[in-house]
Each structure stands twice: as structure tokens, then as C-alpha cells.
Structure 1
């Protein structure tokens, strides 16, 4: 039996690579929780399988329905985690998306996409697109999921995510602008919370996780001007955090979007004195509540 090599050949923010190909992640695997009904907010949740090969699933959140005839806005949420960690089924993401669903009065679909190394990039992009297409397939009222058939307003669709999920959310909106979605489906807005794009030392990690990458100019890493110009939504909300090493990337995205020729409206919110995705770690913190409230308002009033 060959002995393991302890020589490290690459070291990134989230993991290191040994000479024999082994990976060691610096954070433990996240604990996943089952879906549940929240007696306090009335939000119900359940998991659905989108595809078995490749394995793609999602968690759907349905807020309390007081008027069955009234259709609800729909949020597709993409979790963060450096394309290699975390889960839509973790406590932090379950609680955040459930709270947004309750307060925005929106049905939410939280995507469980494939993670590196089991499924290298671009699995995260393709899986998220598959879920968006699956959701859109309910616009005629005859899809596989009754909650979407009965309650979703496909004229008020939102895409949102944080960190890596913000990056993926952009690529989805760019693909909507390029390819389109079935008739009757309208993406109103996109919400990017502390998004990751190219321009830091983390770029080498992304390139390593994506064997079929197009280099530092890959449009999934560095948004292309033509993708920005035809972004398939009407409004964009970008959050950045002052103590986040990704702050300038988020600001740059916002500025490039405004200069691209895109005809929608964009808003930038800076979280002063805060670090990357702080709102997920301490959701009761005053500034975390402000992020959540702004997120909710963007959906409710669009």
C-alpha cells in the first residue's frame, strides 16, 4: 500500500492540496437539518429532488397563505461556501430563507447544488440553472410541485445569493438575458450579498476547482460587459461589507453594471464595520436585521 504524502503543493483559503492529491478542508462539514413547519411564522418547508443524475435537490419554503387566490412572489436562493462547502439544508441557510419567506410573503426555493471536489465547477452553475428551469416549468400550473403550481407568481421571480451564491446568481441572470425562460416567467430582481467575483488571491482557488476554466477572463469569474448589458432582470441590489476582502469586487460589479448599457436599476448597500456574510452568523444583530429587512423590502416592493 502506498504511503500518504504530507507534502503540501497548493494552499488556498478553504483547503490545501497534498502531493498525492488528497485535500484537507479547514472547516468541518456543515450539519444539515431536515425541513420542518415553523409554528411561530407559519412557514412550511419540504425537500424536492430535481435530478438524480446528477444529484440536484432543493428546499421549498411556503409562508402562511391567508388568501389562496393571491399568488406569491418567488425567490430562488443560492447559498455560499466557496463552491466547496455549506448547504441549503444547514441551520443558518434554512433559518435565513425561512425568515425571508415569512416576512416577504414569498415562496422560496433554496438550491442544493453540487460542491467541489465531488462535483467540480461548473456543476454549481449547471445545477442552479437546472433548478431555475425546473421552477419555471411550473408557470403553466401543471408542474410536478403543487406548492409552485398553486401559489407562485411567475411574473415576480427573484434570484438571490451570498458570496459564491452571489456569483452564481449573476451567472443565472446573465443566462436568462441570453437564453431566456419559458413564456410567463419574469425575473424582476437579483440580490447579491457580498458576492465573489474575480480580482483576489481566491481566483487561483476557483481556477483549481474548475478544470475546464477559461482563465482569469472566464465570464463566470470576471463578468463580461456583454453579459452585464443584457442581464435578464429589471433591478439589482448589491450588498458589500466594509471589512470583507470581497468588498471592492462587489463595488466594481455595481459600477460596471451601471456603465454596461443595461437599462435596469441598481442599488449598492455598504454594511459598515462588518465582515463577510456576518448576517448569517448572528441574525439577531442590529445590522444583520437591517440586511434581512432590505432583502425582504426589495422583494415586497418590486
Structure 2
């Protein structure tokens, strides 16, 4: 599986270096959509279509990704995916994203009709992760414009740098590879993809992982030292902090984007976690209780 993943990345890199890679760059228009089909991430996400096709739906349009093409989804752009086979070739693509020093790269297959699933996942903590994030982020910033063809050339070069960075990280010393069991590594991806879903639960994640909720909770705590439901809440609070800092979304919209059906419950949870209300956090007030620092 890993050889298939690396082969797909190498093929896309060669096409980019030859100036032949088709790079789709949907634009992020305005604030993130707090509700709707699909999900969004706080970092850019790269899709490399290997076989078959992927239909992407965005709040303001969509596109079909064909074999041999790539797409970069900008941060905070909600997207939904529908996949299928083409010319007798089953759907396969490679998905790349980052979270701080962590690089996640997985080979996807058609898990159920029309829906992608993880066939093989590689996770690395590597210095290339931050560079890959920056290259992909900058590639999303200049829109395609026939009057400025060099913008597409620059985007293709940035994608080539990101692809090379992924290959370098994947082939780094084994000590830098994630030591987590594959079930937990895949679970982290599932959580990030469903963080905005207010129905997300340990039972739901267990069903997707093919095990019981008790087993999943026990294994997650044993491996990470953190309760699974606590991890989900922490990640929601981290997302809320970013959205409050980086967007002008109303507090209720931030609540929905972070998987809270009731804004009042979000406000209570945020205050319990940070010591201040979302509005106080956003306004930068110093009314927090003694010893509580506002996140930077």
C-alpha cells in the first residue's frame, strides 16, 4: 500500500516538474460556512487523483477531479466529496494535510458506494510538515486568471515543492514515523473530518472503526493518556479559538462550525475550558479569573 501511495505522489511530481499537472484551486469566498454538507479544515488539503474521479461540492460551486489531476482545498472551505470509478478503474486518490509538526498522508479507496475511506495512512512528525503547509497555503492565494498565466505556473511549482516534501518526509528515518496503532491514527483523521458534526460520538466513531465503543475508548486512553471524548472536546475548543481569532463569524456560527447544536452549551463549554466566554476571548478582555491566560 505504501508503495502505491509513493508511486502516485512521484507520478504527480513528475507531471508538475514537466509543467503538465492540472491543478484545481477553488477560491474561498468569504467566511467559512458553519453548516452544510461536508466538512472543512483549518489547514489546506491536497488531493491527488490516481484513478476514477471525485466530485467536490463547495458552498459556491464544485468541480470534478479526474485521474492525473490535483486539487488544493483552501483552509476553512467547506467541501463534500462523492467518488466513483472511471473506464473500469476503481476510485483511488491520495490526500495530504498537516497539523503543526504532523504530516498526514493517506491513500483512499471507495469504502461504500460514492464515499471514500482510508485504505492506507502514513503519519510523520517532520520539519517538512510546516513547509508543506506554507507551500499549499500560498498556492491557494492567487486565483487562476487567463490574463496572469504565471499564477498557475507558480501554483504548480508550489504543489511540486509540497509533493517533494511529502516524499522526503515519508522516506525519513523510521524513528520519525508515528508509533500509534493504525486504528488510532485513522481515528484521528475521522475525528478531524467530523469535528463539525454535532452528532459525533464515541459510539459513532467505534462503528466506523469496526470495534466497540468500550474497546475504542480503552485503547485511545491507553495509547494517548487522554480520554477520547476529552480529546474531541479539546479539538473543538482549539477550532473555536482559531475561528474566533481569524474570522468574524458570530458566536452561534462558531458553535455550529465546531459541532455544538446549542450555542448556549458551546458558551458554557468554552468558558469551562478557557476561563472566559467566546466574546471575552475575542475581545481580548482581561476579565479572566486569576491565573487564566487568554490563548494567543
What's the TM-score, normalizing by structure 1?
0.27
Which of the two has greater helix per residue?
A: 2
Normalising by structure 2, we get a TM-score of 0.27
